[in-house]
A and B are shown apart, each in its own frame.
Chain A
Amino acid sequence: MADTLLTTMTVADLAKCIKAKDVSPVDVVEAFIKQTTATEPLLNAWITLIPDQARAAAKQAEAEIAAGNYKGPLHGIPVGLKDLFWTKGVRTTSGSAITKDFVPSEDATVVAKLQDAGAYAFGKTNMVEYAYGGSEHNAIYGAPKNPWKLDHVTGGSSSGSGAAVAAGQVPIALGSDTAGSVRAPAALCGLTGLKPTYGLVSRFGVSPLSWSMDHVGPLAHTAEDVAIAMNAMVGYDAKDPGSINHGLEDYVEALRNDFKGLRIGVLQDDFIWDVTLPEVKTAFDDAITLISGLGAATEPVYIGNLERLALAQVTITTAEANTYHHEMIQRAPELYHPVVRRRIEAGFFMPVAAYVQAQRVRALFEERYASLFATFDLLVAPTTPAPALEANGQSVRLPNGEMPSRETVRLTRIFNPNGLPAITMPTGFSKQGLPMAAQFIGKRFSDGLVIGAAHAYQQATDWHMRRPSI
Chain B
Amino acid sequence: MSQPTLDKKTFLILARQAGFNPTDPHLDELFPEVQLMLERMEMLFDSPVDGFEPGYRSPESEV
Residues of chain B contacted by A364 (CB below 8 angstroms): 47-49, 52
B62 close to chain A: CB less than 8 A: yes
Residues of chain A contacted by B57 (CB below 8 angstroms): 363, 366, 418-419
Asked if A354 and B3 sit within 8 Å, CB to CB, the answer is yes
Q: Taking the nearest CB of chain A, how far is it from the CB of B20, in angstroms?
A: 8
- Contact A357-B33, Cβ < 8 Å, known A362-B56, A366-B63, A444-B61: no
Asked if A311 and B33 sit within 8 Å, CB to CB, the answer is no
Q: Is the interface of A mostly helix, strand, loop or mixed?
A: helix
Residues of chain A contacted by B40 (CB below 8 angstroms): 311, 314
- Contact A330-B19, Cβ < 8 Å, known A363-B55, A369-B63, A444-B61: yes
Asked if B41 and A315 sit within 8 Å, CB to CB, the answer is yes
Asked if A373 and B63 sit within 8 Å, CB to CB, the answer is yes
Q: Is the interface of B mostly helix, strand, loop or mixed?
A: loop
Asked if A358 and B44 sit within 8 Å, CB to CB, the answer is yes
Residues of chain A contacted by B25 (CB below 8 angstroms): none
A interface residues, how many (CB within 8 angstroms): 48
| Residue among A349, A444, A445 making CB contact with B37, cutoff 8 Å | A349
Residues of chain A contacted by B19 (CB below 8 angstroms): 330
Asked if B47 and A308 sit within 8 Å, CB to CB, the answer is yes
Q: Taking the nearest CB of chain B, how far is it from the CB of A196, in angstroms?
A: 14
**CA–CA, A358 to B34, complex, Å?**
17
Residues of chain B contacted by A443 (CB below 8 angstroms): 62-63
Residues of chain A contacted by B37 (CB below 8 angstroms): 318, 346, 349-350
Partner-B contacts on A (CB < 8 A): 199, 242, 244-246, 305, 307-308, 311-312, 314-315, 318, 330, 333, 338, 342-343, 345-346, 348-351, 353-354, 356-364, 366-367, 369-370, 373, 417-420, 443-446
**CA–CA, A308 to B46, complex, Å?**
9
B29 close to chain A: CB less than 8 A: yes
Asked if B60 and A363 sit within 8 Å, CB to CB, the answer is no
Least CB separation from B34: chain A residue: A349
Residues of chain B contacted by A417 (CB below 8 angstroms): 56
Q: Taking the nearest CB of chain B, how far is it from the CB of A313, in angstroms?
A: 11
Q: Taking the nearest CB of chain A, how far is it from the CB of B39, in angstroms?
A: 11
Asked if A308 and B63 sit within 8 Å, CB to CB, the answer is no
**CA–CA, A354 to B43, complex, Å?**
10
Asked if A359 and B43 sit within 8 Å, CB to CB, the answer is no
- Write 17 A-B pairs (CB below 8 A) sorted by A numbering: A305-B48, A311-B40, A311-B41, A330-B19, A342-B33, A346-B37, A349-B18, A349-B38, A351-B38, A354-B44, A357-B45, A361-B52, A363-B52, A363-B56, A364-B49, A370-B63, A417-B56
